């Protein structure tokens, strides 16, 4: 193998899959199993430090379903892995032809709720599993984390700053996207700005200050280049001296009718330093100069800083947001919930085991709201069952074609902010949040009972 | 913005950077600052749960340096962000022209050791920061984690299985690469197999078992498709009944001169189940059938299972390895350590602050080994200083061209396994490992003292 970046792109993405998807499909093909089946993509449980999820990543899944193809290069490689020619011929002509229902991105969701529901011939439905999980896991993990950080900041700006420690190039892009959806005001990632239209922000690094003969010289140089939007990093040597220098530059800028945008503090006791710097700025008539804080921040640290009276206008949040460091994944899975028999009749399927039980049948999620639009409870029901509430899953794909008006990123973000605002405080607080009620509908409960009974009989027959 | 995957590729990767790299560079350009400078890329400290790092990711950084370009699309976007035409013209013709020294991938490294040392005109040296950090952070984080998992498995196979919960598409690829370097035997990721030549492994999912009328039927179907290499998932209903069915299939395979490769257990008490299943297999003459275990595994869980006598031949390790869940990042930074004055003379630079001090000057790392080749200690020294030991940093790039024979992935893996074997047990154990000695050389210590003294005088002058 020659050296390579190993970037994933639209051409090779269909191969970004676990081998077992292909081995299972090869065996289905071998045994002429083409019956349709339905899979639910959902999150099994809440981690201890989360009380809801913010769903994100659907757009990329739908694009994948519409465009995934196997090329001759892929076929050639798969042949070396022992796949047979007839199955490889099938892959050559592979197109996803299924129907997909999904909850729109930016929706607050809970464990066991189907987020994406795929109905397709078994091989197609199986083959898309890994990419769908990979996409939804990352973006939902990050959107959820970011929504907590934004919540802690209580209306102050939050900029996603974590590109350097996010997990590779694609995470750099998707973290910026998911964070913006969750209410961050922008990102440091220039490519995310270009590709997704997300506002980009950036100040300066310590190296910039140190490259000049002294801090003052570096501040002046930067302010000359960006007179209308400089944020000066004041902690390279000493925050207070740095603030004095920034005030000098702010005065010089005012002489030219410009305004210093802000100062950034990246280390030290952010509470006392921000208070002192705020006072210094205000006393010199620079009430408009913002204080921007960064450095190992997350929702807990921001909450603590603000509780202690830190005077901070905006937060740059990096590694702990960009990796969701306290919980870098969600327990997301993709499970078979019904399959058609030879006559084409769908039969509900469930997995019984104690800790890993799944919900059978084709389902819909209904959300109940109070008079003010606040979320009261969700009910997971069988499709077509009348239980009241607002159905969350909408049809997004029919016969392999997107039949859904993909919302813009700003529309998704608006939905997310509305959803988060409608989630009552008690379910949203950072610590000790109440458990949001998610019920099973009467028909779904009855179906589960029946299937349990049936499986028990089968088990009895086994051991008898 | 229209809907998009947002994949990063060779053409747009130069824009995958923090905005501040570009704002700083614009200001350097504005002030005609083109003097060369040297930056060190290094990890600041060990997390509580790590005692060393396994360095990985260099290849992609070097390819980036050689190939990064700014296209008209990039220039157009940057113009909308307020960058001036003369700087944009500079970017149009941007080529990285610097010299780079680096420690080879697969080397065991420690905090404060320069892993990559970049000497280039300040704008070039600054502009590459974000991509380099992003690449090294991910691969070094994962290689380190994976090396611990492999260590815990004590010679048994470890397969990286985490694609579905790794952070996006690029992480899927780089985790497979870094895990293989660290000693994993393969990956579930088919594209990583195709692109990097890593061995790929896959069994079957619960959905496969459930799609058939019963478990036996599904096992037989799979074994008919892959008679020479089936691993059967036996826990969908009941591990013991599953093992009985697998034994039946193994007998049927033997009649056709095939051998069942293995059974996989994905839930339940892996200790007692693996013991029972091993006994069942052995008693039926299937000593050759391997037991493959998966399900929420990491180095601690594997150690515990083996300590308790689990009979497991191979481990499939997913989420916790693929996200390095207990610590999904390393404290990796990129810091200015010297700059040239107008006469072209390099001056060492250091950051003084208590917790974030950096090491000044152009440095080399020397490793000392005992007679058996085991690592004894490292010394960080100034370049050209004679301290003994083996220098770790080698020249990898000159005038922007790679001058280093990029090793194959298997060569990197071999180096990693040799390095890990040469790291004495006391520095390698999963818990309570001793601190590996990393010393500063006499000349480096003297330089630090001198710079401290000088900076104190400057501070004195400030406050006086």
What is the CATH classification number for the domain harbouring A274? 3.20.20.70
Instruction: Write out chain B residues lying below 8 Å of A175, CB-based.
Output: 167
Domain co-membership, B273 together with B343 = no
Task: Identify the helix (H) or strand (E) that includes residue A54.
Answer: strand A53-54
Q: pLDDT value at position A212?
A: 94
In a domain, B308, yes or no: no
Closest chain A residue by Cα to residue B43 = A165
The answer to whether residue B63 is domain-embedded is yes
Asked if residue B150 belongs to a domain, the reply is no
CB-CB: which of A122, A195, A459 is closest to B4? Answer: A195
pLDDT at res. B328: 98
CATH number reported for the structural domain that contains residue B72 in this entry: 3.20.140.10
CA B96, A12, A24, B325 dihedral sign is positive
Query: Which neighbouring-strand residues pair with A363?
Result: A382
* B262 found inside a domain: yes
CB nearest to A8's CB, from B133, B167, B170:
B170
The pLDDT tens digits of the residues spanning A200-258 come to 999 899 999 999 999 999 999 999 999 999 999 999 999 999 999 999 999 999 999 99
Query: Is B458 in the same domain as B333?
Result: yes
- Please indicate, yes or no, whether residues B38 and B119 belong to a single structural domain of this protein: yes
Is A46 domain-assigned? Answer: yes
Inform me whether the pLDDT recorded for A380 exceeds 50. Answer: yes
Nearest CA in chain A to B163: A134
Contact A221 B8 (CB under 8 A): no
Which residues in A lie closer than 8 A to residue B169 (C-beta atoms)?
8, 13, 16, 134, 170
Q: Which residue of B has its CA nearest to A211?
A: B339
**What number of other Cβ atoms are within 10 A of residue A183's Cβ?**
20
Which one of A21, A166, A191 has the shortest CB-CB distance to B167?
A166
Q: Are strands B394-398 and B401-402 parallel, antiparallel or unpaired?
A: antiparallel
Q: What digits encode the pLDDT tens for the residues A184-203?
A: 999 999 999 999 999 999 98
Based on the domain organization, do A348 and A234 belong to the same domain? no
pTM of the entire predicted model: 0.97
Q: Is residue A191 part of a domain?
A: no
Cα–Cα distance, B437 to B388 (Å, whole number): 15
Residues of A in contact with B197 (CB under 8 A): 1
What residues in B contact A19, CB-CB < 8 Å? 188-190, 193, 200-202
Q: B213 and B111, same structural domain?
A: no
Q: What dihedral do alpha carbons B21, B25, B26, B27 form, nearest 10°?
A: 110
Tell me the C-alpha distance between B176 and B169, whole Å: 11
**CA gap B424, B52 in Å, rounded:** 11
Q: What is the distance of C-alpha B93 from the center of its chain?
A: 32
**pLDDT higher than 70, residue A464:** no
Among A452, A346, A358, CA closest to A42: A358
* CA–CA separation, A71 and A93 (whole Å): 9
Q: How far is A99 from chain B (nearest CA, A)?
A: 19
Are both A289 and A337 inside the same structural domain? no
Q: What is the pLDDT of residue B464?
A: 38
**pLDDT band with cut points at 50, 70 and 90 for residue A357:** confident
β-pairing, B332-340 with B314-317? Answer: unpaired
Instruction: Kindly indicate the confidence band of residue A353, based on its pLDDT and cuts at 50, 70 and 90.
Output: low
pLDDT of res. A454:
86
**B276 part of a folded domain:** yes
- Do B406 and B448 sit in the same domain of this protein? yes
Which of chain A's residues have a Cβ under 8 Å away from the Cβ of B1?
A: 195-197, 408-409
Query: Which domain range does residue B339 map to?
Result: 13-142+327-463
Distance, CA of B25 to CA of B23 (rounded, Å): 5
Check A210 against B22: CB less than 8 A apart. Answer: no
Considering the domain architecture, whether residues A29 and A135 belong to the same structural domain is answered as yes
Name residues of chain B where pLDDT drops below 70.
1, 353-355, 458-464
Assess whether A345 and A387 both reside in one domain.
yes
- Phi and psi at A108, nearest 5°, equal -75, 130
The verdict on A123 and A31 lying in the same domain is yes
Best A39, A167, A334 member to test B by mutation, with max B CBs in 10 Å, is: A167
Contacts of B165 in chain A (CB under 8 A): 133-134, 137, 329-330, 332
Note whether residue B240 is domain-resident: yes
Q: Domain ends where: B275, B294, B313?
A: B294
What does the alpha-carbon distance between residue B266 and residue B232 come to, in Å, rounded to a whole number?
Answer: 11
Report the C-alpha gap between A27 and A90 in whole angstroms.
12
Interface test with A, best of B35, B59, B170, B460 (most A CBs within 10 A): B170
Decide if B171 and A168 are in contact by the 8 Å CB cutoff: yes
Residues in A touching B207 (Cβ below 8 Å) = 24, 37, 39, 126, 335-336
Q: What are the chain B neighbours of A206 within 8 Å (beta carbons)? A: 335-336, 351
What is the value of ipTM here, to two decimals?
A: 0.97
Reading the block at residue B144, the tokens are 């380190």
B271 and B399 in one domain?
A: no
Neighboring chain B residues of A81 at a CB cutoff of 8 Å? 190, 193, 200
Is a pLDDT exceeding 80 seen at residue A355?
A: no
- What is the distance in angstroms between the Cα of A222 and the nearest Cα belonging to chain B? 6
**Distance, CA of A141 to CA of B366 (rounded, Å):** 41
Question: What are A41-84's pLDDT values in tens digits?
Answer: 999 999 999 999 999 999 999 999 999 999 999 999 999 999 99
Let me know: does A306 contact A150? Beta carbons within 8 Å. no
Residue A134 CB contacts under 8 Å (≥ 6 apart), including other chains: A16, B163, B164, B165, B166, B168, B169, B172
* Torsion sign across C-alpha atoms A159, A163, A166, A167: positive
Nearest residue, CB atoms, A207 vs list B126, B169, B188: B126
**Number of domains, chain B:** 2
DSSP state of A189: B
- Among candidates A122, A169, A191 on the partner chain, residue whose Cβ is nearest the Cβ of B211: A122
pLDDT digits (tens, 9 = 90+) for A91-126: 999 999 999 999 999 999 999 999 999 999 999 999
Nearest in space to A103 (alpha carbons), one of A65, A59, A145, A68: A59
B169:A16 CB<8 A: yes
Quick one: which of A125, A74, A79, A31 has its CA closest to B225?
Answer: A31
Number of CB pairs < 8 Å for A and B? 385
B117 forms beta bridges with B40, B101
pLDDT (0 to 100) of residue A354: 59
Measure the CA–CA gap between B439 and B452, rounded to whole angstroms: 18
Task: Answer yes or no: do A333 and A459 share one domain.
Answer: yes
Beta strands in A304-369 (DSSP E): 314-317, 332-340, 346-348, 363-369
């Amino acid at each position: 193998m020659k050296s390579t970046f190993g970037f994933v792109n639209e051409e090779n993405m269909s191969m970004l899959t676990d081998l077992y998807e292909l081995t299972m499909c090869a065996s289905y093909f071998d045994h002429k199993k083409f019956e349709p089946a339905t899979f639910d993509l959902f999150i099994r449980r809440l981690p201890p430090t989360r009380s809801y999820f913010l769903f994100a990543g659907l757009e990329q899944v739908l694009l994948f379903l519409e465009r995934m193809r196997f090329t001759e290069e892929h076929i050639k490689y798969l042949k070396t892995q022992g796949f047979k020619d007839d199955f490889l011929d099938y892959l050559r002509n592979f197109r996803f032809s299924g129907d997909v229902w999904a909850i729109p991105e930016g929706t607050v969701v809970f464990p066991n709720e189907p987020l994406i529901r795929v109905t397709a011939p078994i091989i197609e439905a199986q083959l898309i599993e890994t990419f769908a999980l990979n996409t939804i896991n990352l973006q939902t993990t990050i959107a959820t984390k970011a929504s907590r950080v934004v919540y802690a900041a209580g209306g102050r700006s939050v900029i996603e700053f974590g590109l350097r420690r996010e997990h590779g190039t694609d995470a750099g892009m998707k973290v910026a996207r998911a964070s913006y959806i969750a209410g961050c005001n922008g990102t440091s990632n220039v490519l995310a700005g270009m590709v997704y239209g997300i506002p980009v922000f950036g100040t300066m690094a310590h190296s910039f200050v140190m490259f000049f003969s002294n801090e003052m010289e570096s501040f002046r140089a930067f302010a000359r280049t960006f007179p209308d939007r400089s944020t000066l990093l004041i902690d390279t040597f000493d925050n207070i001296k740095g603030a004095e220098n920034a005030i000098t530059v702010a005065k010089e800028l005012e002489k030219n009718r410009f305004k210093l945008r802000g100062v950034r503090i990246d280390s030290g006791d952010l509470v006392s330093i921000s208070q002192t710097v705020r006072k210094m700025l205000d006393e010199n008539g620079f009430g408009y100069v913002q204080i921007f804080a960064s450095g190992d921040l997350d929702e807990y640290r921001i909450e603590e800083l603000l509780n202690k009276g830190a005077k901070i206008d905006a937060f740059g949040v990096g590694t702990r947001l960009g990796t969701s460091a306290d919980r870098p994944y969600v327990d997301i899975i993709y499970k078979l919930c019904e399959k058609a028999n030879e006559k084409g009749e769908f039969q509900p399927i469930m997995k019984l085991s104690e800790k890993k039980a799944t919900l059978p049948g084709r389902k819909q999620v209904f959300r109940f709201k109070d008079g003010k639009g606040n979320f009261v409870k969700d009910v997971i029901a069988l499709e077509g069952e009348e239980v009241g509430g607002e159905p969350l899953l909408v049809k997004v794909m029919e016969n392999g074609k997107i039949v859904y008006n993909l919302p813009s990123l700003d529309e998704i973000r608006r939905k997310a902010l509305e959803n988060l605002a409608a989630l009552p405080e008690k379910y949203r607080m950072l610590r000790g949040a109440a458990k949001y009620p998610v019920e099973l509908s009467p028909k779904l409960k009855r179906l589960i009972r029946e299937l349990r009974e049936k499986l028990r009989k089968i088990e009895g027959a086994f051991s008898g």
